[in-house]
Structures are given as C-alpha cells and as structure tokens.
A and B are shown apart, each in its own frame.
Chain A
Amino acid sequence: MAVLVLVEHAGGAADDVSQQAATLARGYAEAAGQPLEAVLFGPDAAGAAKGLGALGVTAAHVAVHERLTAFAPQAWGRAIAELVETHSPAAVIAPGSERATEAMAHAAAFADLALAANCIVATPGDAAEVTRLRWGGSLLEHARVHGRTKLLTVAPHAVEAVPASAPSQAVVSEFTPHLEDADLVVQVVERTQTDTGGGVSLADARVVVSGGRGTGSAEGFAPVEALAAALGGAVGCSRAVTIAGWRPHTDQVGQTGTKIAPEIYIPCGISGATQHMAGCKGAKRILAINTDAEAPIVANADYAVIGDLHEVLPAITAEIQKARGG
C-alpha cells in the first residue's frame, strides 16, 4: 500500500498547488507508515516526475496513451481509477485545481468511492479524518471519509509546500491506461487567448482596485479605473456590480468570481460579504475605502480610509502623480 499524489506540471516541474498537495500527502503517508508515490499525465511528465524525490516521492507512475494528446478529464479519471484497482493505495490526494478536481470526481465515479474536496488537514485511519472548506473557505467542515481508498483534494494555497527533510529518488515508470472511446469524447479541441487589452489579468495583478455598489453606476467606475491605471493594476468589482450589469463577470472578485492574490487589494465602496472575502484571501494587504467605518470590509482590512470613493480616489491618483512627477 502507498499514498498516491496526483501531480500537475508545467515546464518540467510540479506546479505550486501540486507541491502543496504533495506536502499534505507526505504527512498523510508518514502518519500511515506508507511510501508516497505520484501519478502524472502527459508525454512531457518524465522530467517533472524525476524532480519529485525532493518532495519525498519514491515512485512516479506516468500515464501515457497515444490518444491522450490534450486534457481529457474522464481519461485521467479512468487512469487514476485503474491505479486504485491495481495498487490499492490507502489514499489518492490531488491538488484542488479545476482540472485535478474534475479528474478526481471521474475517478471517484469509476471506482465508486467517496471524494472529499478542498481538504486542508487529513489524518489517515480506517475512516480518514479531514477538515475541508465550505463556502469558499468561509466555513470549515470536520468530516470522516470512508472507503478502501480515500480520495481527497487539497484546497489551493491553504497548505505551505515544504520539501522533504530526507529527499528520496523517485523511480519513474510509464503505464498505459486502458481507455475507452467514451473516455475521450470530452477532450480539449481548441484554446482561445483572452485579450486583456494589453493590461494585466485580474488573477495575476500585483495591484487590484475594485468597486462595489458604492460606485453607484457603470460610469462611477471612472475613478476606480484611473487609480488602477496609475498603479498599473487591474480593475475588479463585487457581485452586486456584475448583477447590476455595470461590469462584466470577468471582473468579479469572490467565491464565484476570480480569486486574486495581489501585493495590495483596494476595495472601494464594497461592504465585504463573506463571498467577496473568499476571493481576496490571497491578498498580502487590504486597503479598504468605504463611507461606513462599521462595514465588514473595514474589519477585514489592514488599512482603511473612511470616505466617499468619488472624493478619495481622485485625491489618491493625484497624489501618486505628484509623487512620481516629484
């Protein structure tokens, strides 16, 4: 028996969320007294697989198949379920990325096993004890996961990635999953690029300035846009704004919008509902601008300016230009 971790990779290395999942999986494996092994996909996985020894992985299973040319969630799920069948791992632990989560749900359906999504703590046992996120992290659930193999995903950016204190050599082997035609019906056929108009994307921006109901209208975003432009940042908004049709949903920060992780987040005229905070937990600093000093956003911020965004933002933008113009 072993504990398996699903590793997604780019540029020949495990990505951030997979390293986090591997860290949680290593702790789980150590507590269960079992080796940590990995499963990877793609013809270019071998390089990333070799590097996994640093995370404590002793064996890496690379799935290769001539028809598996692009991401195909059901095919990934089939391959994972096959490893569950042939290797009887105590657990399969995956990062809580969109793709890995989707593949794990397929694996769970194939193997008829329970799946606990977005875990932040997991302890092995006859029933595994987990703590998982609900409401995008605004609520925690302590749960017991049953079944011969426990299937878990790890909430992104909730567990710190730590290399193993005693690195191992990962033995890399390839296997060919037995895919059926139906497993390849859902496969990416095309990738379109999003035009960000030369600006930075919300998810990657170092500065995000968001407007809420306090902007009052679509036109009311002018000072928000001006400050974002002055800082080379991206414009965001709250759900109330997208529902009112003032901004597109692609600008929405929150549980059902984009999750952001800037150096500084500047929410303006946003009350700070839990669903909004679930999207900006990754921000290093929050500077709230709000007329109401009692608003939840102020309680959740590092800094606050109490005032009307239509007066405060132009003053900040002017001050930045003054500081730059010196």
Chain B
Amino acid sequence: MPLNILCCVKRVPMTGGRMVLTADEQAIETRHLGFTISPHEECGVEEAVRIVEGHGGSSTVLTLGPPEAEEQLRDAMALGIDRAILLQSDGELDGQGTAAAILEAIEAERAAGTEYDLIFFGNESADAGNYQVGIRVAHALGRPCVTGLKAIAVDDGALRCEQEVPGGRDVYRVPLPAVVTVKEGLNLPRYPSVPGRMRAKRKPLERRPVAAAAAGVEKVRLAVPADQGKQAQILGRGPEAAPAVVDVLRSAGVL
C-alpha cells in the first residue's frame, strides 16, 4: 500500500561547547555556529524515505522556523524527500503555538487534496524539549499517536511500533492513519549523495507565513547553568598514570 508521509523537523544550531547567549538572553548566540536538523527528526526523515522506497507513495518535509530553515528542508530532500513546506515565523513559538501552526498547514494540505497516512515528529526537539507537539497535532486530527519509537514496521494498513523501556521494548500496534514521534537510534541516516543534493535544489518548496500567537509557556529569558567548577586532578601522562587510576577506582569502590 503506497503511503503519503509528512515529516516534521526543526532547525537547531550545532552547539558543542559552552553555550553563549545573545545580549537580550532570548536565544543562543549562533553567529559562529552551523545549523542542522534536530537528531531525532533526522531519523524520522530517513525512515520516511525508507518506507516510501519499500512501499511506494510520496513524502513531504515540513518545518516551522526562520527563512533560513530552507537549508534543512533541502537537506531532507537531498536524502530523498519529495517536497517541502516552510512555515515561516520570526520568533520561537511554544508547544501549543507550534502544534496549531502545523495543524493549520495540514488542514490546508487536506483542502488542496493531500491527505497524510503517516506523520512523523521527533520525540522532542533538541533545543526547546517541549515533548508535546506531535501529541497535540494527533489529538486535533483525531488520530492515534505512538511516541519515542526505536523501530517501525508498516504492515497491511497498520504499524508495529517499538519503544525502548528499561530492560526491553514495549510493542504497540496501531491502524493507519497515525502520528508517530521517533528517537535517534531508529535507524542510521544515510549521507546525502551529490546527485541527491543536485535534485534537492529543484524540488518544490512552498513558504507560508505564520503569525506569532500568545504563548501559554511564555519564555522570559534563558540562562547558562553555573559551571560545576570542576578542575580535573591530572593523574599523570600516558601509561605511567595507571597506578594512580587504580587508586581512584579503589576509592570509588569499584575494584
């Protein structure tokens, strides 16, 4: 059965070192940072491409973000997604606002004749970590939502989903259409090929403006947590440090 898949992603900065904030404390200073798709959603993109490769159908990637988020949409299309929707917003929306904007786009798609059988979200975005957007959209659409997935199999109009829990995996079976939220580890995303990148430049990308709404969770300001003030005790250099390491292991009670 061919599936029409929507994959929602978020553009986030590639942070690595200690975070630095903008002067107004409303955002991370990103002047010297690159951007990427939030890790969980990268796996959602890969899974959407694999399902369409295996079962037929088509795939759309959607993001809510600044105009520059086109970069992440092109990245997703370079991996094999067919088309993109960019919901352009100047500011950051909270979980409710994000879900409402995505829902509006899905309804506009429906009015234009496009119905999605399966909608992917990340379990939570890497930056805001609101843990709710996919579930809110599923509610508004009246569809089941399974979260935090590490394995998905499409089987005869239904999904077999696996979630990692302590000691094992919980299995869910849900009928399509459905909404899923996924986690990194679901698959190992492929690298985009050069022809894939070339094709991505020509794939259709539609922009829609999104107006900021009053936030239920209203950001006041961001703060970098105080340093733990650790100053590592250097036990030594090279193999000669081994006896000192054994002393530390003994004092930790693990020897």
A residues within 8 Å of B by Cβ? 71, 73-74, 98, 101-102, 105-106, 108-110, 113-118, 127, 129, 131, 133-147, 153, 182, 185-194, 201, 203, 206-207, 231, 233, 239, 242-243, 245, 248-250, 252, 255-257, 263-264, 271, 273-275, 284-288, 293, 296, 298-308, 311-312, 314-316, 318-320, 323-324
Asked if residues A114 and B94 are in contact (CB atoms below 8 Å), the reply is: yes
A98 nearest in chain B by CB position: B148
B237 nearest in chain A by CB position: A306
A255 nearest in chain B by CB position: B126
Given contacts A140-B223, A231-B255, 19 further A-B contacts (CB under 8 A): A73-B145, A74-B145, A109-B135, A135-B15, A142-B220, A185-B144, A188-B170, A189-B172, A191-B169, A239-B39, A249-B184, A264-B252, A274-B18, A303-B232, A314-B239, A315-B239, A319-B243, A319-B245, A323-B246
Q: Which of B237-252 contact A (CB under 8 A)?
A: 237-246, 248-250, 252
Of A74, A108, A187, A319, the residue contacting B132 (CB under 8 A) is A108
Stretch at the interface among B48-56, B109-117, B198-206, B211-219: B211-219
A98 to chain B, nearest CB (A): 6
Once A146-B216, A319-B246 are accepted as A-B contacts, the answer to whether A285 and B225 lie under 8 Å apart by CB is: no
Which bracket fits the contact residues of B? 35 or more
Asked if residues B245 and A140 are in contact (CB atoms below 8 Å), the reply is: no
By a CB distance below 8 angstroms, the chain A residues around B95 are: 108, 114-115
B16 nearest in chain A by CB position: A273
By a CB distance below 8 angstroms, the chain A residues around B19 are: 135, 138-139, 274
In the bound complex, how far is the Cα of B244 from the Cα of A323, in angstroms? 12
Asked if residues A105 and B131 are in contact (CB atoms below 8 Å), the reply is: yes
Asked if residues A133 and B238 are in contact (CB atoms below 8 Å), the reply is: no
In the bound complex, how far is the Cα of B105 from the Cα of A117, in angstroms? 25
By a CB distance below 8 angstroms, the chain B residues around A245 are: 188
Residue B1 lies at the interface, judged by CB distance under 8 Å to chain A: no
A306 nearest in chain B by CB position: B237
Closest 8 CB pairs of A and B: A114-B216, A249-B185, A315-B239, A109-B139, A105-B132, A190-B171, A319-B242, A315-B242
By a CB distance below 8 angstroms, the chain A residues around B167 are: 193-194, 201
Asked if residues A145 and B246 are in contact (CB atoms below 8 Å), the reply is: no
By a CB distance below 8 angstroms, the chain B residues around A312 are: 238-239, 241-242
In the bound complex, how far is the Cα of B251 from the Cα of A302, in angstroms? 13
In the bound complex, how far is the Cα of B130 from the Cα of A102, in angstroms? 11
Asked if residues A142 and B221 are in contact (CB atoms below 8 Å), the reply is: yes
Asked if residues B135 and A142 are in contact (CB atoms below 8 Å), the reply is: no
Of A185, A263, A305, the residue contacting B174 (CB under 8 A) is A185
B226 nearest in chain A by CB position: A140
By a CB distance below 8 angstroms, the chain A residues around B2 are: none
Asked if residues B169 and A182 are in contact (CB atoms below 8 Å), the reply is: no
B250 to chain A, nearest CB (A): 8
Asked if residues A304 and B232 are in contact (CB atoms below 8 Å), the reply is: yes
By a CB distance below 8 angstroms, the chain A residues around B132 are: 105, 108-109, 115, 117
In the bound complex, how far is the Cα of B245 from the Cα of A312, in angstroms? 10
By a CB distance below 8 angstroms, the chain B residues around A298 are: 232
Asked if residues B248 and A303 are in contact (CB atoms below 8 Å), the reply is: yes
B52 to chain A, nearest CB (A): 23
Asked if residues B225 and A141 are in contact (CB atoms below 8 Å), the reply is: no
Residue B32 lies at the interface, judged by CB distance under 8 Å to chain A: no
By a CB distance below 8 angstroms, the chain B residues around A314 are: 239
By a CB distance below 8 angstroms, the chain A residues around B252 are: 263-264, 284-285
